[in-house]
Amino acid sequence: MTADRQSKVQDHFLRWWIGISEAVQDKLTLMIPGPTPVPETVLKAMGRHPIGHRSGEFQDVVKRTTEQLRWLHQTSGDVLVITGSGTAAMEAGIINTLSRGDKVLCGDNGKFGERWVKVARAYGLDVEVIKAEWGQPLDPEAFRAALEADSAKAIRAVILTHSETSTGVINDLETISGHVRAHGSALTIADCVTSLGASNVPMDAWGLDVVASGSQKGYMMPPGLSFVAMSERAWQAYDRSDLPKFYLDLGPYRKTAAKNSNPFTPAVNLYFALEAALEMMQAEGLEAIFTRHARHRAAAQAGMKAMGLPLYAAEGYGSPAITAVAPDGIDAEHLRKAVKERFDILLAGGQDHLKGKVFRIGHLGFVCDRDVLTAVAAIESTLDALGLHKTSMGSGVAATAAALAA
Ligand SMILES: Cc1ncc(COP(=O)(O)O)c(C=O)c1O
């Protein structure tokens, strides 16, 4: 037997042994908060031959996607497209609106709040951190108090994460942004990486100044594009900003966007995907998208609770994009890996000190009722197979199905 043949036989045996038949290979289901599943239409749009990025044909794509992005952000301002991941958009938000030594308030109640603090400190900002325990939401009152106490108007920006992916908590961005508005001069810079396209983020109505997001989330696309939306006040701050920047200098992006172009070679094929994905989103409608995500949150939460698995996010603050579960007394990593091995469904693990204590179900982007029901059923069946089911077999699926039927 050749080595190649031998390894195929071994692989076949291994898959049979762990319960995955040959027939289901390549049937991976992503239930993580990014990358998220990508619709066939979007994959096909992306699979065409690239075109010249200075061609009229490509400029038409940029023109159409610019309008679609404004629709998604509910803004009449600029939404700029960067080739990069969500963190590029976060960094761009800071370096284009702030100056060395500026005082900022950073909300930190999880891994991505921590990231804001790191980026702000990397650029020499004077960061005051407003913390909440992981699993708890940021307290809008803490922001109000700090902003009201700032009679010298030294605070230049309030920086926070809307949907904190590491803990599955949604922060009250609307209220916090209202307090920033009342302050008068500070900007609101928001990471909406896992809220945009899942939850309402009406940029203009809430008075947000910078909104950062990334393609591999609610956009239903592969990773590779990030988006920075800028208000008029953010552009005024841009004129004063002295932080170093080149690739992420949004000035040239704005200038070229006015001509339906980009300062550098953009990810042409990801633009094709973007247009197709946004067309799908427009066909579904914003309200329907938000309702779908809220239903899936309710269904995932109901299933977990019925199986006696506590939710990690504080009651009433669960993100519509992610449900974090803290399965008391159960090794979350062991369970997560067993679900992957038995069903090829990928759940996300806990980050940092939550590793082994928490698993997370992503229900963000191109996710339907069947996906949520299947994920809950896979978790339930795996708990049962491992002898770890805390309630009666079928209780999780029944609760999820009931929530979906409501
Ligand atoms: C809330 C949040 N912010 C920022 C990021 C960073 O995005 P990226 O990994 O695309 O740089 C993520 C990624 O998961 C996220 O969930």
DSSP secondary structure of 41-64: HHHHHHTSPP--TTSHHHHHHHHH
Give the C-alpha separation, 280 to 313, whole Å. Answer: 31
Q: Give tens-digit pLDDT for 92-131.
A: 999 999 999 999 999 999 999 999 999 999 999 999 999 9
Ligand 1 atom with the smallest distance to the CA of 214 is 10
Q: Is the beta carbon of 161 within 6 A of some atom in ligand 1?
A: yes
Q: Which of 82, 87, 201 to mutate to test the pocket of ligand 1 (most atoms within 8 A of CB)?
A: 87
Asked if the peptide bond before residue 35 counts as cis, ω within 30 degrees of 0, the response is yes
DSSP labels, 298-351: HHHHHHHHHTT--BSSPTT-B-SSEEEE--TTS-HHHHHHHHHHHH-EEEEE--
Percent share of the chain, pLDDT over 90 = 93
Q: Is the beta carbon of 34 within 6 A of some atom in ligand 1?
A: yes
Helix (H, G, I), strand (E, B) or coil at 177: helix
Q: Is the beta carbon of 195 within 6 A of some atom in ligand 1?
A: no
Comparing CA positions, the residue from 33, 37, 28 lying closest to residue 341 is: 28
Q: Is the beta carbon of 87 within 6 A of some atom in ligand 1?
A: yes
121 neighbors 127 (Cβ within 8 angstroms): yes
Q: Give tens-digit pLDDT for 58-97.
A: 999 999 999 999 999 999 999 999 999 999 999 999 999 9
Protein residue with least CA distance to atom 7, ligand 1 = 86
Question: Which whole-number Å values give the CA distances from 106 to 95, 112, 125, 295, 318, in the listed order?
Answer: 15, 11, 11, 31, 21
User: What is the pLDDT confidence band of residue 19, given thresholds at 50, 70 and 90?
Assistant: low
Q: Give tens-digit pLDDT for 365-401.
A: 999 999 999 999 999 999 999 999 999 999 999 999 9
Q: Is the beta carbon of 194 within 6 A of some atom in ligand 1?
A: yes
Amino acid occupying residue 89: A
Q: Give tens-digit pLDDT for 259-308.
A: 999 999 999 999 999 999 999 999 999 999 999 999 999 999 999 999 99
pLDDT(133) > 80? yes
Q: Is the beta carbon of 86 within 6 A of some atom in ligand 1?
A: yes
What number of CA atoms fall less than 13 Å from residue 386's CA on the CB side?
20
Give the C-alpha separation, 156 to 339, whole Å. Answer: 46
Ligand 1 atom with the smallest distance to the CA of 87 is 11
Reported pTM: 0.94
Mean pLDDT of the chain: 95
pLDDT(345) > 70? yes
Adjacent-strand bridge partners of 80: 228
